[in-house]
Amino acid sequence: MVPFLRVSLSTLFVVASILTPAYAVEIHHWERKPIPVDLPVGEERIVLIDRNVRIGLPAELADPEVLRVQSVGGALYLMAKQAFETQRVQVQDIESGQIFLIDLAATEGASAEDLRIVVSGDQSVTSAADKKKSANEEGASSTDASNAPPLPVRLTRYAAQTLYAPLRTVAPLPGVRRVPMRLSKKVPLFWELPLQARPLAAWRLDGLTVTAVEITNPDPNREFGLDPRRLQGEFVAATFMHPSVGPSTSEYAQTTVFLITRGGGLEKALYPAAPKRQGAETKETTDAEK
């Protein structure tokens, strides 16, 4: 039985329209492997981590005449004054103490586009003071939202821009806050499709949570259309960045879906497993007998 998805087509079309512009943002997932970051000489590059961090530089890069470093609001602003070979740098989350490793190098002509580091399964805890402040901001935002688009649309737009747009272009959403995801690296998201789903990040506002989930097609021969009716879970809205996902051998083998849930995160909305349909089981038995 296909689950009932509480989302109107009009909402999907409205949300899809705000995701149309393409932004060049390089995305890396922290999986305990050093992340390469190439800097253009003489031009600033922003590395987004969404955490308050401090950076430890080796002696070769500690000279401000070689590298300028600023850390503000979960973003690192890096400018190489001259070219240098790859150097290992430690970045530490001030609140949790977690350390990330990046390999910095500076060359002429390197990309200056923003780079985002995504930490899967974020277990950071918001302090009581931050929670109270966020609650007050949420109340204020609710009062002024009468003329704004529906909240699922605003949450989806915020999540998409935060992940894929340059920091300077992200439209503010008062009261929204990032929340931890208590999920494994892969979640059962689709009925009867071999697609892999990995949660990236989640944000919450006024009782709704948006979770960005990366979709990957491991099949080298088939392309799959993405239909919200194939999602196994209870969702307020679901928005795919692309209508389909290509074979694993193509450059279109990955996309992202933004899932809106009410009263909790994605871990509470997902069904535990997708049962096989009786017809599918009969077909598999017949094929095996042949």
Q: Is the pLDDT of residue 103 over 90?
A: yes
CATH number at 80 reads: 2.60.40.10
Residues 95 and 146 occupy one common structural domain = no
Count of domains observed in the chain: 2
Do 180 and 51 reside in the same domain of the chain?
Answer: no
Considering the domain architecture, whether residues 153 and 257 belong to the same structural domain is answered as yes
Give the pLDDT confidence of 228-263 residue by residue, as tens digits: 888 988 999 999 999 999 999 998 999 999 999 998
Residues 55, 111 share a domain: yes
Q: Do residue 113 and residue 127 come from a single domain?
A: no
DSSP H stretches of helix in the chain = 9-18, 128-143, 151-164, 266-269, 278-289
Secondary structure class of 130 (helix, strand, coil): helix
Confidence class for position 7, pLDDT limits 50, 70, 90:
very low
Residue 221 sits in the same domain as residue 156: yes
**Are 75 and 19 within one domain?**
no
Read off the pLDDT of each residue in 138-154 and give the average, rounded to a whole number. 66
Domain that holds residue 42: 31-118
| Whole-angstrom Cα Rg for the chain | 21
**pLDDT at 189 > cutoff 60:** yes
143 & 105 share domain: no
Please give the DSSP secondary-structure letter assigned to residue 233: B
Question: Does residue 191 form part of some domain?
Answer: yes
- Distance from C-alpha of 215 to C-alpha of 230, rounded to nearest angstrom: 13
Q: What proportion of the chain, given as a percentage, has pLDDT over 70? A: 75
Cα–Cα dist 29/35, whole Å: 8
| Higher pLDDT, residue 187 or 71 | 187
pTM above 0.75, yes or no: no
Nearest to 57 by CA among 74, 82, 78, 27: 78
State which of 118, 137, 159 marks the end of a domain: 118
Kindly state the average pLDDT of the residues 85-94: 86
- Selection from 5-9, 167-171, 267-271 with the highest mean pLDDT: 267-271
What's the CA angle centered on 166, arms 19 and 109, to 5 degrees?
Answer: 125
Query: Domain boundary at 74, 101, 118, which?
Result: 118
Q: Looking at the structure, do residues 112 and 128 belong to the same domain, yes or no? A: no
What does DSSP assign to residue 69? Answer: E
CA distances from 254 to 2, 20, 216, 257 (A): 24, 16, 5, 10
Decide if 283 is inside a domain: no
- Taking residues 285-290, what's their average pLDDT? 41
**Type of residue numbered 86:** T
Whether 232 is in a domain gets the answer: yes
